[in-house]
Structure formats: C-alpha cells, structure tokens
Structure 1
Amino acid sequence: MAVFSLFNIVSFDNGPCPSSSSVGSGNNGNRNGTCYATNECLQRGGSASGNCAAGFGVCCVFYLSSGGTTSQNCTYLRNDNFPSGLTGTNGQSFTINKCSCDVCYLRLDFLTFSLLGMVDSLEIMGGTCQDSLKVTSSSNEPIPEICGQNSGQLIYVDMDRGCSGNAKLDFSFTGAASTRIFEIKATQVKCGSQST
C-alpha cells in the first residue's frame, strides 16, 4: 500500500522573470522582476506582477520612489508620482547595496530620463547642469555628472570587489520643470559575467 503526503513542498529558483508590468513611454516590453513566493515578495517590499515557476511563484518587481536604499537586484528607481513629472526642487538620493559578494558592477538603464539640461546650450563651453544626477560608488571611479535628455542610454558603475560595495545616485534639481521625469533600471552584474 502506497502512502502519499497531503502536502508537497515546492521549491524554485529565485531567478529573473518577465513581469506583467509594461515599461511604457516608448519602451518596448515589460519590467523585469525576481521569482519569489507571494509572501517573500511582500516581505521584501516588492510588488507581485504576474506568475512564475509554473504558477507557484510571483514575478516580484521592486520600485524605489523619491529615494531610499535597496539591496534587491533589478530595482526601478523613479521620481515621486511617476509617470507624472516631478515639479518640486527637493533632491532625491538612492543607495544600491550589493545583493551578493560576487557582484562587481551596476548597470543603470535610463528607461525614462528627462532633466533640465545645461544653462549654456553650447556644451563645448562646459555649461553647468541645472538639474543633475551624480553617481558615486565604493570604487571611487570618477563618473561625469548627467543631465538633460538621456532616455534609452545606459552606464556601468564599478562597485569594487568587496562584499560591502555600493553605489549612490544623488539627484539635485533647480527651478520649476513640468517635464522632469526619470525611471532607471538598476541591475547588479556578477564579476566575470558575459551578459550585458
């Protein structure tokens, strides 16, 4: 006589998954997430957006709006009230800590990025950004200040080889601007990874 358990424990990889949340704003496709059990997603502060692992998990998408700190891979950094424009001049600061010791780089995809540009329209004159994004990291590699229209662009940030590596994104704003808006996908890249 065979005995069957009433309960089976289902385990699955907490790998990347395509969510049901559309990127929009001229970008094709959906946001990426991480496959977690529903309760794990909520405990980590994510938003369930579609299923994964044959329906046993949810595709968990992580967002940070108006600043904050995260150690979740593939987090979307957005302005207050996204997708509406940001009109205030209060700065915003985001910190991304490594999700694991084998991460060496942070890839920042500017899905939507529209800040006020330089005061002097002749960039060869070394104009000053009215709004700016300053990116720094624990590796202390110099990264130029970013402003203006940069939707669709991306940069890589060295997070050094230590387990406590991180990167910081500091936004500063001047003057009123109804078109100021940003959503940046922050993806952590393992050392020696061939994927881009």
Structure 2
Amino acid sequence: MSDTIRFAVIYQYISKMFSRWGPVSRELAAIKAHLRTQSVVFARSPLLDGSEVNLPRLYHAVERNGGLSNVIQRKRWGRVADEMKLTKLQHPERKLDPIYMRYLLPYATLSDQERQSIMAEVEKCWTTKYQKMLERARNPFQRQNRMLGTECESESDDEGEDGNTAGALQEAEDCIVQGRTMNLVTFKKVSQNLSTKWKMATQLVRYMRLRTA
C-alpha cells in the first residue's frame, strides 16, 4: 500500500463502554456548550501526535500550576505536559498554548458560578438524553427508525433543549464514531504513539501490583 493513500478512520472510545458519562465527558460537554455560544464548534478534541487532547485534564493542569498567566510567565508548560502524561512532547509551549487559547481560554475566564451553571444544564440535558437512549434500547423498532432516518421529529433528542447544550452532547452516548481522514504515514504514527503509551501504562500497573503485593 502507498503511504499517501487516504482513508477515514473509526474512533472507538473504550472507556465509554464502561461509563458513557464520566467526569471527563461531563466537563468536555460543558466546554463545548460554552464554546458554541462563542460560535466555536468542534466535534472532537484537537490532536497531538495523533492522539486527542484531554481538554478537561489540560484545563485543570494549568489551574493547578497557577493559571495561564503563571504558566506562561514561569514557563511551566513542560510541567503541564508532564501532568498530562505527555512526557515525550517536544516544545510543549508551542503545542499546548495554542490549544488552550482556542478551546479553553473562554471557559477558564468564566466565574465558578457560571461554570457550575453550565455543568448543571449539561447534566440536565444528559439525563434527558440518557432516558431516551434507554427507551430506544427497550424498543428495537424505534432504534431501527433512527438507523434508517425515518424517526419522527417529535422523537428527536434535541426537542425542547437548548441548542448549544444539545449540540455539545451530540455524540456523548456513542462509543464508536466516524473519525478523521488521514494517510497511512499518519496512521502509523498514531499507532506507534498509542502502542508506546499502552506499554508504559501496563508497566506502571505491574509496578504498582508488585509494590502492593
């Protein structure tokens, strides 16, 4: 196969198979919902070395290091990268700073009360969405209609919900989604990076088991 061949990949979010609505999913939805009010819409998180950036983790890592101004002035992007397990990331200030500025700065400038309000709205919207998901699981005909695109508008998940919040939760329930288009070179790089991370994670688990044995 030619390295220049391009194809669409499929993302499989393994963690969602155990918990579709964990803390990261909840806060990522809140970030997306607020960005949509600023006319910034994105389906999935940006990539670093082929892997999606955990935006909530990046936000909290910067906060633990004193906020954006402190991170920039004291040149702590390397420390932020270490907290995010991006130990091999070259020039983290060049890669993490633009991502933070585009996707997280509007969310970070909100007050605690404003963020809590967004989180509450997201939680409310998810609860409604989750109940409808359970109803579809119990009703195979409704699921078939959704797959065939013949579902009535009255059955839509977004009915009566805030458009920004509903849009932020559009793929929240999906474990397998359509991914980006990439060439074979990029796919190999992503595969190698994920393989390295997996090996590091399994070694850490073995080490922890030995310590607690």
TM-score under structure 1 normalisation? 0.23
User: Greater relative contact order (Cα 8 A, min sep 6): structure 1 or 2?
Assistant: 2
More strand by share: 1
Instruction: Output the TM-score relative to the length of structure 2.
Output: 0.22
User: Normalized per residue, which structure has more helix?
Assistant: 2
